[in-house]
Amino acid sequence: MNHQTRTVLGTRTSVASRHGAASTTHYDHSEHRLKIMVRIEADLEAASMEVHGVVTGASLRALYVIARRTTSLLHGKDLTIDLSRARATDTVLEQLHECARLSRLSSGVDSSEVPCRVKIVDPGFIHKVKEYA
């Protein structure tokens, strides 16, 4: 069940995935990759992180690392994490809102935390995942 699919880089052969849906290459799944645009105001009074893609427990660590690097430049000023163009799981949203409530930002690597004033802009779509007991 091979079909030809046109992509930006040319023609790729698609194959059936294990679920039976046609799949080509990683290009179809590029929307799942985490893309983060950091904007810092010229006077260093505030910053925003615009997030695209799907934020999961695994990619949340990368988000924390970038957020901590950004807050190191701000010296206690506001950081807005804009998830309006992203998708996120319930667990991720709970963790981010807890960080905002406590004004503490996790490192994503170890258990250390830094003080940070964080504002979370919720996504328009909550990514549902199955949890197995």
7, 63, 109 from 3: Cα distances, Å: 13, 37, 42
For 84-103, write each residue's pLDDT tens digit.
Answer: 999 988 899 999 999 999 99
Q: Is residue 12 in some structural domain?
A: yes
For 59-87, write each residue's pLDDT tens digit.
Answer: 999 999 999 999 988 888 899 999 999 99
14, 47, 56, 65, 69 from 62: Cα distances, Å: 31, 17, 10, 5, 11
Show the domain range for 19. 3-30
Q: What is the CATH number of the domain that holds 84?
A: 3.30.750
Q: Name the E strands within 63-128.
A: 78-88, 104-106, 113-115, 117-121, 125-126
The reported pTM is 0.69
Q: Is residue 132 in some structural domain?
A: no
Residues 48 and 10 in one domain: no
Quote the number of domains for the chain.
2
